[in-house]
Structure 1
Amino acid sequence: MDGIKVVTIGGGSSYTPELIEGFIKRYDELPIRELWLVDIPEGREKLEIIGAFAKRMIEKANLPIDVYTTLDRKEALVNADFVTTQIRVGQLEAREKDEEIPLKYGVIGQETNGPGGLFKGLRTIPVILNICKDMEELCPDAWLINFSNPAGMVTEAVLRYSTITKTIGLCNVPVGMRMSIAEMLDVDASRVQIDFAGLNHMVYGLDVYLDGAIVTEQVLDKLTSDTGMTMNNIVDLGWEKDFIKALNVLPCPYHRYYYQTSKMLEEEQKEAAEKGTRAQVVQALEKDLFDLYKDPDLAIKPPQLEERGGAYYSDAACNLINSIYNDKRDIQPVNTRNNGAIASIPDDSAVEINCVITKEGPKPISIGDLPVAVRGLVQQIKSFERVSAEAAVTGDYNKALLAMTINPLVPSDTIATEILDEMMKAHKDYLPQFRGSRVM
């Protein structure tokens, strides 16, 4: 049949309208025939709301895209061309525990960094690998485009423990960085390019270009003298001018957790006491969003979605799918197999790096090696991702403890053990692979 079949697993997500908008904008190049939105029974109500809203958006755009909603993943996956995953195992209640429990021990509580990142990976990776098994049977030629966090760790696991080789991890952080820099420079974002390299939520801008000319020094200066570059879920504490000048590369917003750990911890503790954790804030935002989505007269993505952190997802996701489908050979930052692009990272590991996007997939652009000032931190986080992925697949308690301990946000093996044990018990319903370990 003519046209493309896209399956979105986690289709009841509040982010989905951003994806729908992106597909609508690109329909002339990306002729989607079927869009399947898949969720689990606990997400049935949200899925129905999103499905109805998606149909209204497509009807308003007067496009011949058929939208289906289902709780049966296998029904949806048959003969899919692209499968996107945006799942949250344990939903926002699990994220709340990921944020609250580490704070009790004086450790950063964040959903993709430190203990929270570990446990999100432990919950998410087995589910993603089960999706991969279904794809092997029902749509072996489909592309898997994963948005689920921690996206780098998930990509690492799929590359190592699945036969699905057509897989790419995706994040909106690089897109947000480029948009922020364009705003700093007061220019259209199309004029700004960045040489991205590193890992997911630990990616650096090695050089910044305006109309092809290097403006890295100017941007770094603005980063410490003008409005900072951050995201809705990460407080902007500013940067020490001399530190950024010495670093001489552009950090991403998540680097604050590593370079400003004590200040970020203090802010998290203060915010948790006054307003609740970010998960609690997001639950309120989501309630408001879904109240909007229910409106039968609403047929365009509401601007309030940007408060949720969904900004630029359509650009990242739909540009990627469009470039694969049309063999555009443009440059985009994605999570993919390193293949020698970063010298100090194993070739078979996942990295986040600028790639030429072709119909055969992403071709990483080699940078040689990362600057020595950032190389060690990136390697440490890569070790954390590798060991975490192994723990998620094997259910080995000792591997999970090792991953927790080697993460730079956890100060000691003793604290790592205490946090691990409490979080294992808190998340036991979503960690079946660890049943039989000493704390389960």
Structure 2
Amino acid sequence: MKMKKFSIVIAGGGSTFTPGIVLMLLDHLDTFPIRKLKFYDNDKERQDTVAGACEIILKEKAPEIEFVSTTDPEEAFTDVDFVMAHIRVGKYAMRELDEKIPLKHGVVGQETCGPGGIAYGMRSIGGVIELIDYMEKYSPDAWMLNYSNPAAIVAEATRRLRPNSKVLNICDMPVGIEVRMAQILGLESRKDLNIRYYGLNHFGWWTEIRDKDGKDLMPGLKEHVAKYGYVVQSGGDSQHVEASWNDTFLKARDVYATDPDTLPNTYLKYYLYPDYVVEHSNLEYTRANEVMDGREKFVFTECQKVIDNQATVGCELHIDEHASYIVDLARAIAYNTHERMLLIVENKGSISNFDHTAMVEVPCIVGSNGPEPLAIGEIPQFQKGLMEQQVSVEKLVVEAWEKKSYQKLWQALILSKTVPSAKVAKDILDDLLEVNKAYWPELS
């Protein structure tokens, strides 16, 4: 039987992750065939470099696929089956400010956690809602696979502002950690693991990990994490390679110590050890600078090389780890595979003793009608307390955006576990407000 071929638009065509996603899609054409691939971005110059290289890659590897690169929403979103969205409103220049402004006040400066994540969320909400509206106007039967950060705030915004939209919110970080878990255990792939996990995005815990035969793998993993965190001797995942990531993976051993019954998401270090994070941060050179000097420079240099040579010979662009997850999710929707995947979904009782309207990250069975969350049951008081505080931050940010409320945004910052007082929260907010005037709603 002939398989249907799909039309895809990558929203955020100028992203450093786009070439890796294209390579992954091409690597899976036998199981997920494509007839048309489009790039959409509001930064034409940036997208042109990535698109110029990807067009040559497509001509060499799959010339039958129609390719379009555009800044026109109607052209981009007409006749598509899937929107793969990974936008960064304000690009890395604003990320740098998200990180450095809180650090100036002695507070964690991080892309998705604390004040930096809140600032980024306030920029992202409008951009993602705009993409949903384009999709529903021009291709109302399409699905959006959204992995735009900060995923927790964006997911709450889609739930609250576009509750009936066909949007699936996902994150690649658990995938990267599970790749490391498989390597620790000597397994070939993270797909050899059956996992139980719950939490919020960048704020969760593994409670059970078994192999395909049902053998409990948690004891061996716990022994490793207690000594080395998620550091592996060789390999790891291709995306998280800088020195700062190695420190994050090592710090997981201290995060694990706070609850040895579970295995933690690495991002919990920002909430549980904020003093350590600030002490080990460099105000002059943050993660944003690492990315700009590292991945961004590498990707755009390699893309320009392909354009200059009009060929991919010698090109070092590679498949990104998280891209495989996106293909699996698209296949689950397209072919009703009922694959088990970790998604960010409305709780609705999956965690029975937690806010039913919270956007939680839990395993789901995914088919053509979307995700069906697995029942998690009751969670312990420690995790419940942490999650209730954090989910309130996320909800207040979306309320602040929707109501254009300075007060709500200040409250969100006050509630963040990374911020020590209401005064510090206000000082940070005022600084962030000043540099985000072009991106945030006008607050009153």
TM-score of the two chains, using structure 1 as the length reference: 0.91
SS of match in other structure, 2:305: coil
Q: Does 1:191 align with 2:199?
A: no
1:70 is matched with: 70
Aligned to 1:10: 12
Alignment root-mean-square deviation, CA: 2.2
Per the alignment, in what secondary structure is the counterpart of residue 19 of structure 1?
helix
**Corresponding position: 1:114 with 2:114:** yes
> CA–CA distance in 2 between the matches of 1:242 and 1:163?
34
CA distance in 2, matches of 1:288, 1:49: 13
8 Å contact kept, 1:125–1:393? no
Residue segments in structure 2 that go unaligned for 5+ positions in a row: none
- Could you say which residue in structure 1 is the equivalent of 2:303? 293
Task: From the superposition, tell whether residues 119 and 239 of structure 1 become closer, same or farther in structure 2 (CA, over 3 Å).
Answer: closer
Distance in 1 separating the partners of 2:403 and 2:376: 34
Partner in structure 2 of residue 337 of structure 1? 346
Matched-pair contact (CA < 8 Å) for 2:255–2:264: no
Work out whether residues 33 and 66 of structure 1, in 8 Å CA contact, stay in contact via their aligned partners in 2. Answer: yes
Distance, in Å, in 1 between the alignment partners of 2:297 and 2:206 is 35
Structure 1 residues without counterparts, runs of 5 or longer: none
Contact 2:205/2:262 (<8 A) preserved: yes
Q: Secondary structure at the residue paired with 1:30?
A: coil
Aligned counterpart in structure 2 of residue 410 of structure 1, from 399, 419, 432? 419
129-138 or 78-87, which deviates more: 129-138
Q: How does 1:35-434 map to 2 (within 5 A)?
A: 35-40=37-42, 43-189=43-189, 190-211=191-212, 212-226=214-228, 228-229=230-231, 231-232=240-241, 234=245, 235-236=247-248, 237-239=250-252, 244=257, 246-268=259-281, 271-273=282-284, 276-285=285-294, 286-296=296-306, 297=309, 299=312, 311-431=320-440, 433-434=441-442
Q: Partner letter of residue 152 of structure 2?
A: G
Over 3 Å counting, the alpha-carbon distance change for 1:82 and 1:62 in structure 2 is closer
> 1:28 matched to which residue of 2?
30
Q: Structure 1's 226 and 336: CA in aligned 2 closer, same or farther, altered over 3 A?
A: same
Cα deviation, residue 101, structure 1? 0.4
Q: 401-410 vs 58-67, which deviates more? A: 58-67
In the superposition, relative to structure 1, how do residues 96 and 330 fare at CA in structure 2: closer, same or farther (>3 Å)?
same
- What is the aligned residue count? 425
Note if contact 2:256-2:262 (Cα within 8 Å) is conserved in structure 1: no
CA–CA separation in structure 2 for the residues paired with 1:178 and 1:207: 12
Question: What are the Cα deviations for residues 352-373 of structure 1, in whole angstroms up to 9, with x where unaligned?
Answer: 1111110111111111122333
Aligned to 1:238, the other structure's residue is in SS state: helix
Q: Alpha carbons of 1:203 and 1:287: their partners in 2 closer, same or farther (altered >3 Å)?
A: same
Q: Percent identity?
A: 29
Normalised by the length of structure 2, the TM-score is 0.90
In structure 2, the CA distance between the partners of 1:408 and 1:259, relative to structure 1 (3 Å rule), is: same
**Cα deviation digits, residues 319-361 of structure 1 (max 9, x gap):** 1111111111111101122221112333333111111110111
